[in-house]
Structure 1
Amino acid sequence: MAPRGGKLGRTWRLQHRRGIWLKLPLALASHVPVAASSGFVFHHAEQDYVMMTHWLEEGKPCTLPPGPTHQVGVGALVLDKGGKNILAVQEKSGPLRGTGVWKMPTGLLDVGEDIGAGAEREVKEETGVSARFKHLIAFRHAHAFAFGKSDLFFLARLEVEDDSSLQPCPHEIAACDWVPLSLFLSQPRFLASPLYACVYDLCRDALPENEGKARPVTAIMGTQLKLGFKPGAAWLYHTSEWHHKKHGGKSEGEDGLEEGKGLGTTSGGD
């Protein structure tokens, strides 16, 4: 394998190839040094393979797409059925371990997992509580997080389905409880951060007693739609105003729309 000046490299250039992708399964990992000495560089790796690339057009900028640039996390705002207490946890591991600080259930999405499904899973895993995704409150975009990658964090509003019992995850959570909103939203550690102070203000607006009082509340809702040009579906996230416009003010399910038809399956509160 000698693409720089060897026969294979000349063949690729005659074929007008600009860049080469080389996927080496774990069983062929011993070939990585050979590929590297021939001009290939690492692109990304998974548990069972490594992907390498080689840009053939010397003197021109490489236009091959980069490897994964972001990790995606979710946090869940869940109130009890009385609407006075928030579901909160204390970390057993992580940056808040041992501080006594209460936080919302949070975590990273799994590969191929939707935002709402990930929020529901994290709540169930960390606290044992069943809750249903309602809408997004906000999202945060930051850089230089884990492994030097950027980070997207989505804050979701979930509707509790069963608040009768709490079962903290023994591996990740030191404690979980229904914490009074006044206590949770007044924690100095978060209020000292301009970012989190704003997040908490948005959480207050999302509370049932505040929705639409001080100002109209715009929720970020999700609708699952078929792709059309190929099999499968994806979630489109949009404002609640668009939802009400399309549904004519009806609540979810009243217009008889089915998944993949018209609006498809919608998650979100009115």
Structure 2
Amino acid sequence: MSTLETQDMAALKPGPEAAHWVAEAGRLAYADRGLYVADPAFVSVPVRGLTDPGYLKSRAALVDPNKSMGKAQPGDPPFQKTFLWGASEGVENGTSHISIADRNGNAVSMTTTIEDGFGARLMTKGGFLLNNELTDFSFAATDDGKPVANRVEGGKRPRSSMAPTIVLDSNNKLYALVGSPGGSLIINYVVKTLVGILDWKLDPQVAVDLPNFGSRNGPTELEAGTEAETWKPALEAKGHEVRLIDKNSGIQAIVATPAGFVGGADSRREGVAIGS
């Protein structure tokens, strides 16, 4: 989101210009994520450097408003203690998300996963499925002779794309809850919805139901069968390699308003916004 904060996203409508900025920001984020992010008990993740305002500003400056950068390279954040190599993971369908808020100001944004439709295909005597989180590790231990940060190791937690998000207003009060299932696409789903709610001032249901779009530091991916397909020529004119794919998100969002909470549940799959 820091890259998008350098652009007046509120002045843009959902369309190819917004998709360009979100995709380019995604390339930069996924490039750094792939190299540096893994279980902090096993690797020294340079969180301070990756969130350093100067570093984020320098990364944002790499975005050309008129041309895609193609595949982004990882940056060189300050305050590093180690250098590791990373790899990305695929998409799964065993994840769920719930967003809950109450009148007392309590709020929960929770994403949970067993990594595949039936996890590890093993069920305990208590009646619940065991997860298959091993697939969230990078399958290769090394890349170009360098150790992969997210490689498999005993007792290690795998990297995840789950991004349950709580947004507070300037008075530190609850403003919004957002989250989604969707494997490595989750990050882009959440970013799209936050831009819709925060910058475009959309009703949460409208923001949730916007076409999905973004990049995982590969092709710019647009949701097939939606209005986003019409953005393809304009993005290709900026040098994007565009791929139309199914994006079966399951975004759940809540926004606090003076009149009460307003919710949105992704129409692409099961889920409903309810309140009392």
Shorter chain as denominator, the TM-score bin is: under 0.3
Q: What TM-score do you get using the length of structure 2 for normalisation? A: 0.23
The structure whose Rg is larger is 1
Larger strand percent: 1
Larger relative contact order, structure 1 or 2 (CA cutoff 8 Å, min sep 6):
2
Q: What TM-score do you get using the length of structure 1 for normalisation? A: 0.23
